[in-house]
Amino acid sequence: MNNVRPTVCVVVVSDYGGGSAADWNYLRHTLGALTSQSFTEGVEVILVDATPPGQEMPADLTTIVPSMRVMQDRTQSGRDLVNRAARACSADLVALLDADCVPAPGWLAAAVEAMRLHADAAVVSGVTAYPDKNFTYRVLGLLLRSFVDPGRAGRTRFITTNNAVFRRDVLVAHPIPPVEPRHLAYRLQTESIRGAGGGLYFEPGMRVTHRFDGWSAERHIRRRVGYRAIRLRQLDRRAPHAWVIRFGVFSIPLIVAGRTLDSWQDCVRAGHHYGLRWFEFPMVFAIAVAVHVLEVGGMMAAFTAGRTEHRRVQAARDAGHQSS
């Protein structure tokens, strides 16, 4: 019986379900890629099955990775299950991988090596690209995913939890908070880690290919990104540039302009990781303006949510004063 403690635990998070039988192939490809990793040390794999109600994960998926554990509880959210999985891991390192992110063969080796190289690293994140189907896929992948990329291996300001490796004690000390939607909760978790002095690093060898369905998906994603940009700063005043939201909806043009400028800088800094060539950058800059305009609807929704929450809190306080 093998009692050797694993070096790393990979937590694969499946919480999107399969609208069709073909959708489950994304998870099949991800799990299959884990069996082809060049990493030769001990690995523990936990599959978090947070499949939406009314859907069932195909049985064959649980047999792809030998000795993989499946964590499932229909009474808990995917966020809660990820927190449980982190506590259940026996390794000192925990890699989080979304079910529709296929890792390159050297992904896990690069993750562990980066953690060993940087003793102060709390989290290391990597490159998330889209399938290289055409120019548009490369550009949209660059514009959405390169914010973590300083252009080389080293310190970064952000991480992306669809492709990241944590020190287990950090992940347990900073669980995903009970905030919806999930992408906002993950960002708040990152800010908590950074606020506690945890080092955030980027490793280009940690490369995954993320599912992407074109412009229809981009519009939905960008609305969520716009919502997160505002709600994050409403909930955590320590977040970068939180002061700007004091102007309410009138701050939106300033935020869009600032985010567009950041994207242009991201493109120049990290474009080579996404296969962009120099003569393509004028078109990339134009597309950056368009995608950030798509975020405005989400920003408006976030300001509305903030006002609603403020009125609710104020009403509760007034009721408390009256009862006393």
Interaxial angle between packed helices 252-270 and 135-145, expressed in degrees from 0 to 180 and rounded to the nearest 10:
110
Mean pLDDT by 10 residues, the chain (324 residues): 80 77 86 97 95 82 93 85 95 96 98 97 96 88 92 93 97 92 88 94 96 88 94 85 91 95 94 88 95 96 87 65 56
320 assigned to some structural domain: no
1 assigned to some structural domain: no
CATH number of the structural domain spanning residue 190: 3.90.550.10
270 assigned to some structural domain: yes
Please report the pLDDT score of residue 3 as a whole number: 62
Alpha-carbon span 310 to 97, nearest angstrom: 35
Cα Rg, the chain, nearest whole Å: 20
Please report the pLDDT score of residue 1 as a whole number: 36
Please report the pLDDT score of residue 214 as a whole number: 82
Answer for the pair 193, 200: CB distance below 8 angstroms, yes or no.
Answer: yes
The pTM of this model reads 0.87
321 assigned to some structural domain: no
Alpha-carbon span 118 to 115, nearest angstrom: 5
134 assigned to some structural domain: yes
Per the structure, the complete domain to which residue 155 belongs is given by 8-315
Strands 199-210, 101-103: pairing is antiparallel
Reading the block at residue 196, the tokens are 């506690």
Reading the block at residue 247, the tokens are 């102007």
Question: What burial class does residue 89 get, using C-beta atoms within 10 Å of its C-beta: 0-12 exposed, 13-18 middle, 19+ buried?
Answer: buried
Residue 70, number of CB atoms within 10 A of its CB: 14
144 assigned to some structural domain: yes
Q: Which helix (H) or strand (E) holds 153?
A: none
Q: What is the DSSP letter of 52?
A: P
Q: Structural domain tally of the chain?
A: 1
Answer for the pair 226, 245: CB distance below 8 angstroms, yes or no.
Answer: no
Question: C-alpha distances in angstroms, 189 versus 82, 174, 184, 249?
Answer: 13, 6, 9, 26
Alpha-carbon span 137 to 280, nearest angstrom: 13
Alpha-carbon span 76 to 61, nearest angstrom: 21
219 assigned to some structural domain: yes
Please report the pLDDT score of residue 23 as a whole number: 77
98 assigned to some structural domain: yes
Return all residues near 324 (Cβ < 8 A) that are at least 6 apart.
none
